């Protein structure tokens, strides 16, 4: 938003058409916290706030990631990406595919090859 | 664009998707994740540790591609090694992924049979492969507009180059070093193979580094940049000498408390350093013992195209690699010949046996055109001393090559050493002593006047 604002005068309206109103609200919540209350809180309190903030369904979380990316809000982007990574890490491959609508497009031979190469992880 | 090499996993640049028209691999294989762009996906993947990262490969072909992205594994290896207390050395093993597996399991990594992933298109994932395999174009190497001189006296050097702050190449010094014609891969491996060297934040033995340089396919290769080589290894130290015209070394008065100042540089073809200015306001010389280096330089007042330093001078937003700079900015700038940069960009290829003088404050980027071995030193001389005193006084937070706690102290400490030098009974080099005395006196007078003016303004 800052970059867009730098290109306009005070009277212009800044167009943000890629982001739905409710998602933009979520982004602003984060930014307001970061520059306001967030500065006075301890690390633990901040983590708690972030945990609460990120209790979202997947579609909303993904929309938030897209918005953070579009609006160039790096810290929110990193926070949301880390959250998704944390959610993925806890699931098995089958659960990941089911949850995120992913098709297993390997042939049985290919899948076996990948598993063989991953034997060291087990 | 005729590029016939194919990516190890068969992925293609994004443009090919419009020609071949089949995006199903990405859509089906990423599911809900296909809404996100590749940079964001890599961001998510960057939070996975090595084992999780490996397990992602089995989910789908698209996940397989991301899971095998080498830059992710490079980070994992470096993190794993830097977390260990005894700073172990890396044994690079064909790829970063394979190297990680070697570090993590007792068994040797399994043979890797890359699965060919059809119809997967991504510029982001294709880019490192493209960069690594793009040749250095001949057009990048043709311009030579830096003076080459031989038999240059110190006085001539000072009046013609150091005072005007202008680069120059000396052609007749390095070939008198013992290192010339002696130092090469075989020599380093045979006689200094066990020496620990520092490259990109990690340690190698010389032997294991040379193996990495041979096997790696990084688009931004790690290169040896070792500041302790001369103190660790007397034999290497004895194989070169500081060229006479660069022999002023006023930071040497600080003894062990001086900022880092000399480095052994070893890197494979296409390794190098993107645009920067050398630390602490110092000038430098850079000598090629084996190989060749392409240099592009801009004067202090002229920020290179595509480079955006932050206002406090601490951060630098620049294209990822030097090759990207060449591909995206070099040719457009030369064709446009825009007035902002006209006549300001200096270029050369420094060959074996040559040494380049890099004047203080000049922007420069360097690209190794071959496997290259070089030595560089930064120095404070009678000519650039006043500039450096101003720098240390006004920018203590931008000082580098010293522990953080010592940076604010450097200015006063250095002044103290200069004072002792000037007053010393040791009769070597009265000319230098007089020059330094004059410079320090002028500096103190100016500092006093400037402080007074500031007070009056306030």
Task: Give the separation between CA B355 and CA B149, rounded to whole angstroms.
Answer: 10
Place of tokens 């492969």: B129
Q: B26, B30, B47, B101: best mutation site toward chain A, by most A Cβ within 10 Å?
A: B47
Among A10-24, A33-47, B99-113, top mean pLDDT goes to B99-113
Q: Tell me which residue in A69, A85, A121 faces B55 most closely, judged by beta carbons.
A: A121
ipTM: 0.87
Q: What is the pLDDT of residue B105?
A: 85
Q: Is the pTM of this model over 0.90?
A: no
- The three-state secondary structure class of A98 is helix
Give yes or no for a contact between B167 and B346, defined as CB atoms under 8 angstroms apart: yes
Q: In Å, how far is A78's CA from the nearest CA of chain B?
A: 7
Write out residues in chain B with pLDDT < 70, as ranges.
1-4, 310-320, 337, 427
Question: Virtual CA dihedral for A10, A67, B45, B90, nearest 10 degrees?
Answer: 0
Using alpha carbons, list the distances in angstroms from residue B300 to A85, A118, B151, B329, B361.
Answer: 44, 52, 28, 19, 5
Residue B223's region, left for phi above 0, alpha for psi from -120 to 50, else beta, is beta
User: In the predicted model, what is the mean pLDDT of residues A30-40?
Assistant: 83
Q: 3-state class of B234 per DSSP? A: helix
Percent of chain A with pLDDT over 70: 85
Q: What is the structure's pLDDT at A4?
A: 46
Set of chain B residues whose Cβ sits within 8 Å of the Cβ of A105: 25, 28-29, 60-61
Contact B170, B150 (CB under 8 A): yes
Pairwise CB contact (< 8 Å): B31 & A97 = yes
A121/B54 Cβ within 8 A: yes
Does the CB of A78 have a partner CB in chain B at under 8 Å? yes
Q: Which of B40, B54, B59 sits opposite A65 (nearest CB)?
A: B40
Q: Which tens digit of pLDDT belongs to each residue from A68-100?
A: 998 888 999 999 999 999 999 999 999 999 999
Please count the residue pairs, one from chain A and one from chain B, whose beta carbons lie less than 8 angstroms apart: 102
Asked whether B236 and B230 are in contact (CB, 8 A), the reply is yes
Nearest to B305 by CA among B321, B283, B326: B326
B378 closest CA partner among B263, B274, B267, B236: B263
- Where does the pLDDT of residue A46 fall: very low under 50, low under 70, confident under 90, or very high at 90 and above? confident
Query: Given this model, what pLDDT does residue A45 score?
Result: 86
The string of pLDDT tens digits covering residues B330-354 is: 988 877 767 778 889 999 999 999 9
Interface of B to A at Cβ within 8 Å reads 25, 28-33, 35-37, 39-40, 43-48, 51-52, 54-61, 63-64, 101, 104-105, 107, 109-110, 112-113, 115
Which pLDDT value is given to residue A16? 66
- Please report which confidence band the pLDDT of residue A11 belongs to, taking 50, 70 and 90 as the band edges: low
Q: Which residues of B touch A81 (CB under 8 A)?
A: 40, 43-44, 46-47
User: CB-based contacts of A72: which residues, under 8 Å, 6+ apart?
Assistant: A1, A2, A3
Mutation for testing the B interface, residue in A20, A100, A120 having most B CBs under 10 Å = A120
């Amino acid at each position: 938003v800052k970059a867009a604002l730098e290109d306009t005068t005070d009277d212009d309206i800044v167009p943000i058409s890629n982001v739905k109103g409710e998602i933009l609200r979520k982004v602003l919540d984060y930014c307001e916290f970061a520059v306001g209350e967030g500065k006075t809180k301890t690390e633990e309190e901040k983590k708690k706030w972030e945990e609460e903030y990120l209790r979202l369904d997947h579609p909303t979380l993904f929309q938030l990631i897209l918005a953070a990316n579009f609006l160039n809000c790096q810290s929110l982007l990193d926070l949301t990406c880390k959250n998704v990574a944390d959610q993925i890490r806890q699931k098995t491959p089958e659960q990941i595919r089911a949850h995120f609508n992913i098709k297993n497009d390997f042939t049985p031979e290919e899948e076996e090859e990948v598993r063989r190469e991953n034997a060291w992880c087990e | 664009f005729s590029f016939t090499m194919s990516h190890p996993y068969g992925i293609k640049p994004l443009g090919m998707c419009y020609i071949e028209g089949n995006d199903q691999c990405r859509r089906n294989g990423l599911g809900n994740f296909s809404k996100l762009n590749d940079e964001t996906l890599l961001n998510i993947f960057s939070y996975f540790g090595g084992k999780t990262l490996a397990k992602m490969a089995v989910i789908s072909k698209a996940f397989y591609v991301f899971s095998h992205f080498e830059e992710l594994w490079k980070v994992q290896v470096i993190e794993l090694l830097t977390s260990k207390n005894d700073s172990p050395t890396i044994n690079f093993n064909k790829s970063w992924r394979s190297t990680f597996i070697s570090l993590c399991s007792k068994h040797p990594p399994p043979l890797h049979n890359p699965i060919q992933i059809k119809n997967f298109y991504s510029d982001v994932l294709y880019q490192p492969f493209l960069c690594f395999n793009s040749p250095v174009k001949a057009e990048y190497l043709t311009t030579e507009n830096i003076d080459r001189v031989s038999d240059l006296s110190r006085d001539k050097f000072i009046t013609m180059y150091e005072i005007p702050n202008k680069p120059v190449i000396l052609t007749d010094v390095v070939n008198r070093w013992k290192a010339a014609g002696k130092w090469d891969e075989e020599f380093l491996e045979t006689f200094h193979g066990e020496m620990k060297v520092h490259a990109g934040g990690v340690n190698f033995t010389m032997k294991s580094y040379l193996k990495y340089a041979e096997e790696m396919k990084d688009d931004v290769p790690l290169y040896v940049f070792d500041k302790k080589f001369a103190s660790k290894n007397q034999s290497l130290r004895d194989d070169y000498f500081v060229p006479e015209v660069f022999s002023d070394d006023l930071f040497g008065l600080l003894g062990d408390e001086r900022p880092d100042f000399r480095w052994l540089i070893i890197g494979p073809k296409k390794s190098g350093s993107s645009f920067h200015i050398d630390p602490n306001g110092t000038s430098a010389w850079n000598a090629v013992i084996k190989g060749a280096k392409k240099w592009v330089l801009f004067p202090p007042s002229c920020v290179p195209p595509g480079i955006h330093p932050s206002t406090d001078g601490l951060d630098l937003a620049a294209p990822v690699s030097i090759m990207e700079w060449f591909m995206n900015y070099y040719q457009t700038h030369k064709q446009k010949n825009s007035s902002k940069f006209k006549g300001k960009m200096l270029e050369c290829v420094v060959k074996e046996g040559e040494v380049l003088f890099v004047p203080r404050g000049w922007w420069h980027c360097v690209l190794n055109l071959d496997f290259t071995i070089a030595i560089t030193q930064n120095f404070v001389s009678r000519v650039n001393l006043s500039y450096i005193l101003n720098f240390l006084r006004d920018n203590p937070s931008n000082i580098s090559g010293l522990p953080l706690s010592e940076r604010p102290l450097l200015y006063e400490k250095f002044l103290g050493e200069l004072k002792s030098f000037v007053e010393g009974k040791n009769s070597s080099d009265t000319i230098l002593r007089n020059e330094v005395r004059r410079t320090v006196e002028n500096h103190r007078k100016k500092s006093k006047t400037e402080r007074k003016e500031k007070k009056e303004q306030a």
